[in-house]
Each structure stands twice: as structure tokens, then as C-alpha cells.
Amino acid sequence: MNAPSKMKKSVVITGGNRGIGAATAILAARNGWDVCISYNRHGAQADDIVCRIGEAGGKAIAVQADMACEDAIVAMFARCDAELSPLGGLVNNAGFLGGESYIEDFDADAMRQLWDVNVVAYFICAREAVRRMSRKRGGAGGAIVNVSSMSAESGGIGPRAHYATTNGARRTFTFALAKQVGPLGIRVNGVMPGVIDTNFNDDFDNEGRNERLKALVPLGRVGTGPDVGETIVWLLSDSAAYVSGAVVPVTGGMF
């Protein structure tokens, strides 16, 4: 098992109610972490994850927090402080596709909204986590994992250039933050999922998607939330104690 150190610690997982976030929350709890998951919608699913963790003997809370709202993010971390063990990890995972649009239909306001959720929120969450985990501020150190996408390198598909661009920013942020906070005792890594069977694409590309795309994956199947979650939990753990500034592709060999 990839357990954290002997001192009990908590991890904040944004967008932890579904898909990759939910799988990561369950795996993290199984590996000894207290878990705080955020959600914006689908509160019943968030409550279900908390219930499943509790039934397995773990401790978890779910906090409704719009990642476009700084005050909501700050309040989420405050609840984690009040109800869980000292913070030792952050998984920046929440985000959205922002629809599909070609450049001739570019909407600057929509892009700003997408940027707020997919990028600015990563900075705010990291700020709050570093304030708590930094050894220079009395913390015990910790780990941050940023979830990006293989579109950060490939550019994704044409009408999702705006989404791919935010993932490129997430990837760059991972490298830069690792250099900045390493001296504070905080490791920063990322994962770049490929084709994963989650609800993330349901509004735009659901029917037949997995069957259609699995032929492009060298391992011959579409990935699952736990495929990515296992990598995230390992990066959070002391087993990855000398891994920082890495972005791990979880793509089944697809590039």
C-alpha cells in the first residue's frame, strides 16, 4: 500500500465527486488519508463517496465549492482545517470542457470563465495548500498533484483548442510550482490522462465514444478512473518522495 507517513494527514481533492476525482478519493482514503472532496453540482454523488469512505473506516467530508469563486475555495480549506487532520496533500482536478467552438466563433468571455475554473482555481488551491504545508510556515511539507490532459501536448481535437490550452497551462504550472515550493518541503507533480471512461465528455461525445476510441489506444482499452487515481495516490505518497516536477502520462501508450 502507498500509505502516507505515520502522522495522519488530509488531502483536498477538487472535483472529487465523480470520475477520476472520486476514484482518487476512495483510493486515498484506503491508503490512510483523511479526504476533503469538493463539488459544484451532483451533491448526491459527493455524499455517496463520503458514505463509502466512512463505511470502509475512513474519514471524509464533501464541500460545495464553485472553483470560479475564490471565497468558496478559501472556505473549503477552512472546513478542512476544522474537521480533518493537518493538510498534507492537494489534488487539483476540477475543471470543465467549456463546450466546442472553432476559432472564428471564439468567445472571450467564455474563455475567461474556462480559464478561471481550469487554471486560476489551480493557483488559488495551491496557494491555500502551500500556506498550510510549507515548512517555513510551520507545516510538515506535503504533495500537490495537478490533473491535466494529454491534450496539453497534442492540442486535442480542433473545436476544443480552448480546453487544450488550459491543460497546457496546468502542465507548465506543475513544472514552475515544483521549482518554487520544493525548498518548502512540498513536491509538485502532474498526471496527463488520455482516453478515460468518465462522465466528463457526456455533454458532447458520449454514445459509442469508448468503443470508437479504444482502437487508438495501444493497450487496447479505454482507461478508468482508478487507472489515473492509482498514479495520483502514488505521487502523493512517501513512495514517491524523490519525485517532483514530473508529469506522468496515463494514456495506455496513446500519444
Distances (CA, A) of 209 to 34, 180, 199: 35, 39, 11
Contact 25, 16 (CB under 8 A): yes
* 102 classed as catalytic: no
Rounded to the nearest angstrom, the gap between the alpha carbon of residue 153 and the centroid of all alpha carbons in its chain is 18
CA distance 88 to 111: 32
Predicted pLDDT of residue 3: 47
Sheet holding 247-250, edge to edge: 60-64, 34-39, 10-13, 87-92, 142-147, 186-193, 247-250
Predicted pLDDT of residue 4: 46
CATH class of this structure's domain 10-250: alpha beta
Helix axes 161-181, 121-133, angle to 10 degrees: 20
21 by Cβ neighbours in 10 Å (0-12 / 13-18 / 19+) ranks as: buried
Predicted pLDDT of residue 7: 83
**Interval 45-66 mean pLDDT:** 98
Helix axes 121-133, 70-83, angle to 10 degrees: 30
CA distance 148 to 169: 9
**Interval 144-155 mean pLDDT:** 95
Which among 60, 7, 5, 8 has a CA at the least distance from the CA of 29? 60
Does 5 score more than 80 pLDDT?
Answer: no
Question: In percent, how much of the chain has pLDDT > 70?
Answer: 94
Does 120 score more than 50 pLDDT?
Answer: yes
Does 29 score more than 90 pLDDT?
Answer: yes
Please write the tens of the pLDDT for every residue from 205-214: 555 667 788 8
Does 203 score more than 70 pLDDT?
Answer: no
What's the mean per-residue pLDDT of the chain?
A: 93
Annotated catalytic residue, options 39, 102, 163, 242: 163
Conformation bin of residue 231: beta by default, left when phi > 0, alpha when psi is -120 to 50: alpha
Beta strands in 118-193 (DSSP E): 142-147, 186-193
Contact 12, 89 (CB under 8 A): yes
The domains of the chain are located at 10-250
Please write the tens of the pLDDT for every residue from 216-255: 899 999 999 999 999 999 999 999 999 999 999 999 998 8
